[in-house]
Amino acid sequence: MRPFAYTAARTLGQAVEALADGGPGTKVLAGGTTLYDLMKLRIENPPAVIDISRVSELTRIDTSGAELVIGAGARMADVAEHPVVRRDYPALSESLWRAASQQLRNMATVGGNLLQRTRCSYFRGGSAFPCNKREPGSGCSAIDGIDRHHALFGGSQSCIATYPGDWAVALLAFDAKLDVVGPKTRRTIALADLHVEPGSTPQREHTLAADEIIVRIRVPKTAAGRGSTYLKIRDRESYAFALTSAAVGLTIGRRGVIEQSRIALGGVATRPWRVPAAEQSLIGEQLTEATARRAGEVAFAGAKAGHHNGFRIELGIRTVTEALMIARTRATR
């Protein structure tokens, strides 16, 4: 790890000012569970780090209005265990407590979690492996390499690295928005517009400016929140990233007919991946194993398998199917 300047901000204004003054490459430190790892690997080499962990404004959680309002600095564990989140949005709670160990959830923040970088072994493996995301123009080792954990959706000739997070997938299913500030900006963006596919510039992973900070996450309240789940399939039951995952939410009306359907996929794409066609396939239908399976097949219709990850298409279809059946039970309580 290389030497760097360190500033501990006490207010949001101080954090924004320090980030602007830090120069190119300056990074924000919240929980530190990702940034420190990347600095040790020499993937991130910031000249300065701005610590925002003491900014109390960023830790607030407000569930009293028409939206869930969650400060970007709130700890994953606190949000996951919040009684209103657990009751009204089980998918959000489950996406957090299935994301990491309890120790990490006690430190990591929900804003920082949105910006975590891929766990692609070639990206993290050092200069021995060409990686366009780490060194633009060097090539993508995964395309002709071991791609078991790589993306089925959203890849390009430059990169097929999978977005690793769970929280963003659940937020995407429920139309979350982010409030963002910088020295000259104060704006709101849809979570759907935060992450970008690699295209020819895989080093660019999101749409935030270098001097912008996520302040809060806002989730509109909806009945589909209660009829929701986040199902994550992985090689081992805990402390592992998803082979496939699905965040789903349902509203079921009279005679068991689906009125609202939300489906987002994780672990299978270069960014959190929503599947509107699969959602639409369920509207006006009664949810059975057959209709749930059909929605899963629609969700994975455009999947592009590589050399070693084709098994995850059928696994993903089954993940969506099972998640929908869990959500049906919750939506009809």
For residue 178, the surrounding DSSP H or E stretch is strand 177-181
Per-residue pLDDT of the chain (333 residues; tens, 9 = 90+): 688 999 999 999 999 999 989 889 999 999 988 898 899 989 999 999 999 999 999 999 999 999 999 999 999 999 999 999 999 999 999 999 999 888 999 999 999 999 999 999 999 998 889 999 999 999 999 999 999 999 999 999 999 999 999 999 999 999 999 999 999 999 999 999 999 999 999 999 999 999 999 999 999 999 999 999 999 999 988 878 999 999 999 999 989 999 999 999 999 999 999 999 999 999 999 999 999 999 999 999 999 999 999 999 999 999 999 999 999 999 998
Residues 167 and 240 sit within 8 Å (Cβ to Cβ): no
| Assigned fold of 223-331 | Enolase-like; domain 1 (3.30.390)
Number of neighbouring beta carbons within 10 Å of residue 115: 20
Residues carrying CATH 3.30.43.10, the chain: 5-54
Determine the pLDDT at residue 100: 85
Class of domain 5-54: alpha beta
Q: What is the CA radius of gyration of the chain?
A: 20
Residues carrying CATH 3.30.465.10, the chain: 56-115+163-220
Residues carrying CATH 3.30.390.50, the chain: 223-331
Instruction: Out of 3.30.465.10, 3.40.50.720, 3.40.930.10, 3.40.50.12780, select the CATH number for domain 56-115+163-220.
Output: 3.30.465.10
Q: Which residues contact 251 (CB under 8 A, 6 or more apart)?
A: 222, 223, 224, 227, 258, 259, 260, 261, 331
Determine the pLDDT at residue 321: 98
- pTM reported for the whole predicted model: 0.96
Task: Provide the phi-psi class of 43: left if phi over 0, else alpha when psi is between -120 and 50, else beta.
Answer: alpha
